[in-house]
Amino acid sequence: MKKLVIVESPAKIKTISKILGNDYRIMSTMGHVMDLPAKKIGVSIEKSGIEIEYVPIKDKDRVIAEICKAAQGADAVFLGPDPDREGEIIAWHIENQIKKAAKKKKQNIHRIFFNEITAPAINEAIENPSTVDMDKVNAQQARRILDRWVGYEVSPVLWKKIAPGLSAGRVQSVALRLVVDREAAIRAFKPEEYWTIDGTFKQKKDGFVAALTHIGKKKLDISDKKTADKVVTDLKKQSYEVESIDDKKRLKNPLAPFMTSTLQQAAYNRLGFSVKKTMQVAQKLYEGVPLNDPSTPVALITYMRTDSLRLSDTALKSARGYITQTYSKEYLPTKANVYGKKSKSKAQDAHEAVRPVDANLSPDSIKGKLSSDERKLYTLIWQRFIACQMKPAQYAQRVVTIKGGEYTFKATGSTLIFDGFLKVYGVEDDDKDKVKIPAELKAKTAITLSKVDPKQHFTQPPPRYTEASLVKEMEKEGIGRPSTYSATLSTIQARSYTKLDEKKRFIPTELGTAVTQLLVKNLPHIMDKKFTANMEEDLDKIAQGDLERDKLLKKFYKEFQDDLKKFKGSSKGAQREAIPTELKCPECKKQKLNIRFGRSGEFLGCPGFPDCDFTSNFERAESGEIKIVKTEPPKLLDEKCPKCSSPLRKLNGRFGEFTACSGYPKCKYIKQETAGFKCPKDKGDVVRRVWRGGKFWGCGNYPKCKFAIFDEIEEKKCPKCKLPFLIKKTSKDGNVTLLCSDKECGYTK
């Protein structure tokens, strides 16, 4: 009888099947199978402890049933979800479901861990099975319950106080606060003037630039043109001498191998990948990509959700061997480079840094066998891994000090004399020579000042966060964990709490600012960075077995309920929150306008309502200044309404521009884009609809018929089942796939 191996992702099935052979059957949970119920909290605090209600996730009953049935006939069951807390809870849920289905029959169930999908790693996991780690299960449950309490209990208060459909999150809301606080700092920033003065010096032929650093013993501090001009005039009167030349070697050490956060940052900065895209591509590289045989995917990297910098002895030997063969021993350190401290947690120390599975599988050796994105990310991971085990780069650095009267100039030049790890990882911008100092320059000799260049500058506000810098800040502050960064960044954008400027930097929306201000005021604990970071540390302690799950949850819930009670109380019968502005109402001339939030989004409104009902759209300038935007009047068209013959008109609505009858409200006709085929369910018209999440095709007889397609369509009959349309999916590379919407048909082109 076969042995059963259960993994998370169906993409791993082929790779692991090839490794283990015909004696094993590989099945997938396709992610989580159980969770808290969708329509209630599902968590209660009893005298005996915290009670958790789990239910099958929608459409997962069948998956659970099939796995349980297969387990009944298996000699042994190996639970192989991912080696993290989320993977552990999946393993625990599946184990419980199998035992429940087996009733009295004893099941031979094991938990296995592998950090890479290779034959040695998989076989070693099978030969050394373990049990489900209940400490990690408890840590995941604690995190899930904390998130459920915050999300389910805070969000309804936001609906009452600001607008329907809003959400709050334990990590999400604190990440949003970082963006809001940064924007507030930018708007409050007042630039200050300062001046720098460079001098061009010559001793023989070649000149070089040095910066004025000191006047007397004081560092240069010039804040206006008048002072700068005075200094420039005085500089021209002085005689100058090379006071000293300091030659030394400078080492630039290789960077550590990637962990999740540094991979996300480097992929953003070097490749322009979003955090979400990085994790999606990394997942494919981890699960396996077909190289020589399309039926045999090959895993290229180790598990990509980790905060460990540890490298296995096998990986180190592989890297050192590759470096010796390819770049010579000159590039190889005497001992392997070690990064980071050994983790206190055995579970965490089992993880490795993100690295290639095989150092010898260089990006050039598999060129043309990966997609463009896969090739770019794999190259980045491979280069960082090889580079981290190479010698430092060496620079010859020359610091020249020049004196004339009370003025001191300095110039620093550096030349790369040994590229070391840069041979693989590339030269950064700051390594390029900016100043070339003549080799024949001598100390204690006269030198001529040939040119003085004063420059005016202004101090700059702190920059807005990019995805990379926000991840870096979250990591620095201890907000969230590697597995949550991508989801957090996606959520604050999907909820319309933030948007991206033209340089892809985060700007908080008015809604995001209002939500943050309200939560900071009323729920100071969950919005505090240190509190959130300490909570993450406590979750780590639970995973290590150093803290009881229920002790942490009960303590949090008591403080949380005290704050929440006041928050809820302040929302009863109160007006919805608004952001005050300095703009006077143009109608009543009495009140200052407020920013309010309605079903159509944000708008300016007079607080004197109902006596004054002025409302208007608005825009906010970079400086934070708010301007009233006059709404364009509806534009009448030559086209007639098919229902009442009144002229149609173009209007701007909640979801953009649309065309409707000018006879509204007597005639409520709205022009819709109609597909060239009828609804396959009730033969009604299929029309284009718009909602907050975008556009979709739906039956015109809604709500009687709920037929809907959320993808683009191609009006061609399916060659297999004759449905009158095909779904059209276009990848980022521009490749188009046509497929039938009927899963049982399965047609794909």
pLDDT at 116 over 70: yes
**Confidence category of residue 431, pLDDT binned at 50, 70, 90:** very low
For strands 109-111 and 297-298, give the pairing: unpaired
Q: What is the pTM of this model?
A: 0.80
pLDDT at 573 over 60: no
Question: Which range, 266-280, 560-574, 575-589, 602-616, is most confident?
Answer: 266-280
What does the block give as tokens for 264? Answer: 């996300």
**Confidence category of residue 186, pLDDT binned at 50, 70, 90:** very high
CATH superfamily of 266-387: Topoisomerase I, domain 4 (1.10.290.10)
More confidently predicted of 569 and 531:
531
Q: DSSP 3-state assignment of 410? A: strand
pLDDT digits (tens, 9 = 90+) for 361-414: 999 999 889 999 999 999 999 999 999 999 999 999 999 999 999 999 999 998
195 within 8 A of 457, measured Cβ to Cβ: yes
pLDDT digits (tens, 9 = 90+) for 608-629: 888 888 888 888 887 778 888 8
End-to-end Cα distance, the chain: 38
**Looking at the chain, which residues constitute the CATH 2.70.20.10 domain(s)?**
193-253+393-458
**Confidence category of residue 342, pLDDT binned at 50, 70, 90:** very low
What is the edge-to-edge ordering of all strands in the sheet holding 647-653? 635-640, 647-653, 656-661
Helix and strand numbers, DSSP H then E, in the chain:
18, 34
Q: What's phi and psi for 732, nearest 5 deg?
A: -65, -20
pLDDT at 345 over 80: no
74 within 8 A of 1, measured Cβ to Cβ: yes
**Confidence category of residue 483, pLDDT binned at 50, 70, 90:** confident
The span from the CA of 586 to the CA of 584, in Å, is 6
Average pLDDT over residues 243-251: 95
**Looking at the chain, which residues constitute the CATH 3.40.50.140 domain(s)?**
3-132
DSSP letters, 1-20, are: --EEEEES-GGGHHHHHHHH
Whose structure tokens read 């940052």?
265
The span from the CA of 67 to the CA of 402, in Å, is 78
Catalytic pick from 24, 286, 303, 425?
Answer: 303
The span from the CA of 287 to the CA of 116, in Å, is 9
Helix residue ranges per DSSP H, 368-447: 372-387, 422-425
Q: DSSP 3-state assignment of 535? A: helix
Which of 635, 736, 725, 641 shows the shortest CA–CA distance to 680? 725
Q: DSSP 3-state assignment of 488? A: helix
What does the block give as tokens for 529? Answer: 């960075």
pLDDT digits (tens, 9 = 90+) for 511-522: 999 999 999 999
Which of 421, 419, 420, 416 shows the shortest CA–CA distance to 433? 416
pLDDT at 343 over 50: no
Q: DSSP 3-state assignment of 46? A: strand
**pLDDT value at residue 140:** 96
**pLDDT value at residue 428:** 56
Residue partners of 1: CB distance under 8 A and separation at least 6: 73, 74, 75
pLDDT digits (tens, 9 = 90+) for 692-719: 556 788 898 888 898 888 888 888 889 8
The span from the CA of 475 to the CA of 477, in Å, is 5
Average pLDDT over residues 346-351: 51
**Looking at the chain, which residues constitute the CATH 1.10.460.10 domain(s)?**
141-189+465-569
DSSP letters, 624-689, are: S-EEEEPPPPPEEEEEEPTTT-PEEEEEEETTEEEEEETTTTT---B---EEEEE-TTT-PEEEEE
Angle between helices 313-327 and 372-387 (to 10 degrees): 90
**Confidence category of residue 742, pLDDT binned at 50, 70, 90:** confident
Whose structure tokens read 């045999």?
296
The span from the CA of 253 to the CA of 390, in Å, is 9
What does the block give as tokens for 627? Answer: 């301007």
pLDDT at 296 over 90: no
Verify whether residue 669 is a known catalytic residue: no
726 within 8 A of 718, measured Cβ to Cβ: yes
Average pLDDT over residues 90-114: 90
For the ranges 114-118, 141-145, 198-202, 217-221, the lowest mean pLDDT is seen at 114-118
Give the number of other CB atoms < 10 A from CB of residue 302: 28
**pLDDT value at residue 696:** 85
Burial class (CB in 10 A: 0-12, 13-18, 19+), 680: middle
Query: What fold does the segment set 193-253+393-458 form as a domain?
Result: Topoisomerase I; domain 3 (2.70.20)
pLDDT digits (tens, 9 = 90+) for 86-99: 999 999 999 999 99
**Looking at the chain, which residues constitute the CATH 1.10.290.10 domain(s)?**
266-387
**pLDDT value at residue 655:** 60
For the 141-189+465-569 domain, the top CATH level (class) is mainly alpha
Q: What's phi and psi for 396, nearest 5 deg?
A: -90, 115
In this structure, the dihedral spanned by the alpha carbons of residues 328, 330, 335 and 338, taken in order and rounded to 10 degrees, is: -90
Give the number of other CB atoms < 10 A from CB of residue 603: 17
Which of 564, 540, 563 shows the shortest CA–CA distance to 552? 540
Identify the CATH assignment for 3-132 out of 3.20.20.10, 3.40.50.140, 1.10.10.60, 1.20.20.10. 3.40.50.140
